[in-house]
Chains A and B, each alone.
Chain A
Amino acid sequence: MEHPYLLLTSVFGVFGLEEWAASHPHVTYMWLAMIILIFFGWLAGKSISLVPETAQNVFEVLISGMEEFVVSITGEEGRKSYPLLITIFLFVLVGNLMGLVPSLYPPTASVNTTMALALIAVGWSHVVGIWHHGFKYIKHFLGPVPLMIPLFLPIELIAHTARVLSLTFRLFGNMMGHELVVLILLMLGGMFLAPLPVMAMGVFVALVQAFVFFLLSTMYIAGAIEEAH
């Protein structure tokens, strides 16, 4: 289903790139999300002081609250992974919320974006595992009994691939479904503000999906840090 009107596609049309921008809306809108996030980061860090004021207060509560939450799951070793996790959370949140603004397209409603995020999150959890356990990390994949290694290895590999796919499809499916429902309701009864209740629910969905993505990435990192079973 085609989006009726995309703002950034018209903006790129000024530079003669309309065809490319129309076929890659997730790329252009991801840049927009990045610009928004960099702007907020600049805003928060502009006048940093020991006694926080207005904007710095909000960001400090958000960032340090999430940090304590992550550390309560992963233990003290997980603090090093926190910058990646909070970046994923904020990016997915901004990406999801962009779907609620007319003429914007949520970059997370494309399977390309979510697959990239899921690969980064799960890949990083393995890097943390190797970093933490060294060569012994392979024990996570071999099961408890040496005799059953040929059985356990493929099973564990399948289970770890399923993590990537479940992260990918949960976020993609939710955001794409939301976008589709809003578009269909807009087409059927746009004059009577039919999509409004769904958009109100979209705020909740955006927040929950961003949090679930962040939470599951944290738990995969926690699973890589803990000892093999």
Chain B
Amino acid sequence: MNAEIALVLSRIVELAPGIREFWLTREDGGELPAYSGGSHIVLSLPLPGGIRRNPYSLVGDPNDHQKWRIAVRRQEQSRGGSAWLHESAREGQSIKVSMPANLFPMARLARHHILVAGGIGVTPIVSHARELARLGESFEVHYAHRAPEFGVLTNELRQLAGSDLYCYVASRNETIDFRELLNGRPLGTHAYLCGPQGMVEDFHKTARDMGWPDTHVHSERFLAPPPGEAFTVRLARSARELVVKSDQSMLEALEAAGTEPPFLCRGGACGQCETEVVACDSTIQHNDLFLSQAERDSGRKIMPCVSRLSGGCITINL
């Protein structure tokens, strides 16, 4: 479970203020496993306080077996991961990386693909565009960003999509009108978006209002685990107890205590780390995008990657 390989941070490129690209290669120069467009990897970042595992979408060419590329924006509210990558990461450094997993795959039977990127959400969109261009599929790309200098992957997308790349620059008051974007599209069109939360919600709502079924609308968004009050976790099966610090996620605390719960996205999206709640003397703050309302109401499940307790103690079946 959670197999990791040690790779080398072989190259660091400053793409824009606060946005860096990283190349990961094998220490022995050998080939990396294949992945599909939309995949992400989890980096184990050696922060001073311990390992911090963050998911990043692969941005490069899925057929490039020599290197994996990621692009990282420095988060203003960084919990340390993006700050470390921007300040402490050095070329030549070894870093542990998970195998690629894909929670944002393309619909292979689509007749046309509309790819939409908001800001740094452009990363999985580039790998999709590469694969679609290689397959000769019909697609277009819409890329919204804050200001001209933040359109960091515009040239790459231009090469792939040509005149079917449309850029929207907020500093020039350009925005994407989803209603216009989705109007009058042929049957079998699929739309994909990776971007900030408000944009994702607006996209899904507009599509639904226009009669698009959810099967044709795809999005990806990883949440960062929000900080909160410290709380206690009791492990029912191993009869142990540990404390989740206020700036730590429950999953991170479990890992720090030596347990190895399964995970894929670490961002509340995939459901892999779902854990059974045996008892709880406080309120669970469900921050994930995975559990249904009924599952939340039952109080029997928690996603330890992003969800936590407002103080108190939770007993889980681990």
Do the two chains belong together in a single complex? no
B residues at A contact (CB < 8 Å): none
